[in-house]
Structure 1
Amino acid sequence: MTNGTAEAPLVTVRGEARIETAPEIARVWVTVSARGRDRRHVLEDLTRRNATALDLIASYGDAVERVSSGSFSVAPEPTAYGRGERVRAYHGRVRIAARLTDFTALGELVTRLADLDLTSVEGPEWELRADSPVPAEARRTAARDAVRRAREYADALGTTLAALVSLTDDEPGRTPRSRSNFSRSVIQVSAAAAESAPAPLDLEPPQLSVEASAVARFTLHPPALNT
């Protein structure tokens, strides 16, 4: 039924829901770099720094749920002047992704990573798990809100709902994310602490908003509009 009739009037409503919840996952990305005039030395430095970063991440055990290596590149930087294929320097980069579930270790880990030579850290990105029950609860709440609104319209007309015609996602529930950025350049380490680990960053997980909406169509019992 696409249109209502006098015998079966149609009402279309939009139900909405918004749930605030704590994140379950924090993702960080680590970029290890190396630079020099000798390509072999750049590769050796990059390999060593990458291993150091991976070992540091692994030392946090179960706090790190998953770690993976991403893109890798070593590129020459040609000289600005002169003829021929002369290379001024080589630049190498490796990107590492880590997913943490223990947020108490997060601040210390990212601070120690950012304190490594030629290493930058991006994140954290706060998320819910793919199987989190929160989006489903938001959709259920949106459906109940649609029913409530339809009943309010029916009550205003002095009638009641007869049947549900359709129920669709207006905007399918999205897994929320919240992101912040930091790198070694914004972490200040005092001269007195240069030979020791820097103080951990205080990273407070934000509240994530999970939103859902649903469009519902109902038929009504014919209202007595003339009374």
Structure 2
Amino acid sequence: MSVPQVAVRGEARLVVDPEIAAVVVTVTARARDRQTALERCRAGQAAVTAVLDAAGAAVEAVETAGLAVYPYRRDGGRDDSVASLTTSVTVARLDAVGELVVALGRLPDVAVSGPDWRLRPGSAVVERARLAAVQDAVHRARQYAAAVGARLTALLEISDVGLSGSSPRFAAPLAAMARFGSEELRLDLAPAPQEVLGAVEVRFAMSEPDQEVFGG
């Protein structure tokens, strides 16, 4: 005799503050010969490193993302050499992101993109989303079983559907300020809250339903 079962999908949606920010910094130098282009690129990168070092513990990780050296044909047919070095920066203190972006952006021959707001790899928020999805599945299954006069008796199967994340477009402004000589530059950055979606599929055995539920 088959055992009555109930299968449900549990879901959870958590919206939390970002934990880190990623900034990409690219130094590009152009010269008539490759050696000079590389030397200028190295000097530019040294300036970037000095800014990152000055940020102290606010900068969590610095990684070289790419190096390129290539010819560039100017108007008139003359070839120059271009050297480009890209660095990925992980910022641990969100209140320092704006000031750091301004400081990097004031350097010559430097392009800055970001910040990209993120959760840390292996963030505890991911585990919270998974567990909340399981709790939602149990709650739904109990409701369905109760609706037919039954109760849950055993867990038969649980399947991790997965997690996904996105960044909702709302946030409180984060002010950043830096001085350019006698001028003051202010950037208002808005850290985007992170949305983590968890889902599981769960199958339970349940007791025999109350036959009166099906009575006409």
TM-score (norm 1): 0.81
Match of 1:94 in 2: 85
Distance 2:183 2:58 in 1: 19
- Superposed CA offset, 1:147-176 (max 9, x none): 111111111111111211001111x224x4
Q: 1:98 to 1:179 in 2, by over 3 A?
A: farther
What is the CA-CA distance between 1:40 and the residue it aligns to? 2.3
Confirm whether residue 42 of structure 1 aligns to residue 13 of structure 2. no
Instruction: Please say if residues 42 and 90 of structure 1, whose CA atoms lie closer than 8 Å, have aligned partners that are also in contact.
Output: yes
* Aligned counterparts of 2:193 and 2:76: Cα–Cα separation in 1: 53
Q: Structure 1 residues 197, 108: closer, same or farther in 2, change over 3 A?
A: farther
Q: Which residue of 2 aligns with 1:141?
A: 132
Q: Deviations over 1:153-201 (max 9, x none)?
A: 111111111211001111x224x46499xxxxxxxxxxxx864575142
- Give runs of aligned pairs for residues 145-184 of structure 1, distance below 5 A: 145-170=136-161, 172-174=162-164, 176=165, 178=167
2:104 is aligned with 1:113 = yes
Q: Matched residue pairs, number?
A: 205
- State the distance in 1 between where 2:84 and 2:167 align: 26
Query: Does the residue aligned with 1:44 lie in a helix, a strand or coil?
Result: helix
After superposition, the Cα gap between the structure-2 partners of 1:79 and 1:126, relative to the gap in structure 1 and judged at 3 Å, is closer
- In the alignment, what sits opposite 1:104? 95
Correspondence list, 1:48-63, <5 A: 48-63=43-58
SS at match of 1:201: strand
Structure 1 stretches of 4+ moved >3 Å: 78-82, 176-180, 193-198
Structure 2 partner of 1:13: 8
- RMSD across aligned positions (CA): 2.4
TM-score computed with the length of structure 2 as normaliser: 0.85
Deviates more, 1:34-43 or 1:193-202: 193-202
Return the alpha-carbon distance in structure 1 between the equivalents of residues 166 and 48 of structure 2.
25
- Residue aligned with 1:110, SS: helix
Q: Is the 8 A contact 2:168 2:192 kept in 1?
A: no
Runs (5+) with no aligned partner, structure 2: 170-178
* Cα distance in 2, alignment partners of residues 42 and 15 from structure 1: 57
3-state DSSP class of the match of 1:108?
helix
1:117–1:177 Cα change, 3 Å:
farther
Aligned to 1:213: 199
Q: Distance in 2 between matches of 1:15 and 1:179?
A: 22
Task: Read off the aligned partner of 2:112 and give its amino acid letter.
Answer: V
| Contact kept in structure 2, 1:125 and 1:179, CA below 8 Å | no
Q: Conserved in 2, the CA contact under 8 Å of 1:108 and 1:199?
A: no
Counterpart of 1:130 in structure 2 is 121
Asked if residue 26 in structure 1 is aligned to residue 16 in structure 2, the reply is no
Match of 1:202 among 170, 173, 188: 188
Query: Residues of 2 paired with 1:197 and 1:96: CA distance?
Result: 28
Shift of 1:109: 0.9
Could you say which residue in structure 1 is the equivalent of 2:176?
none
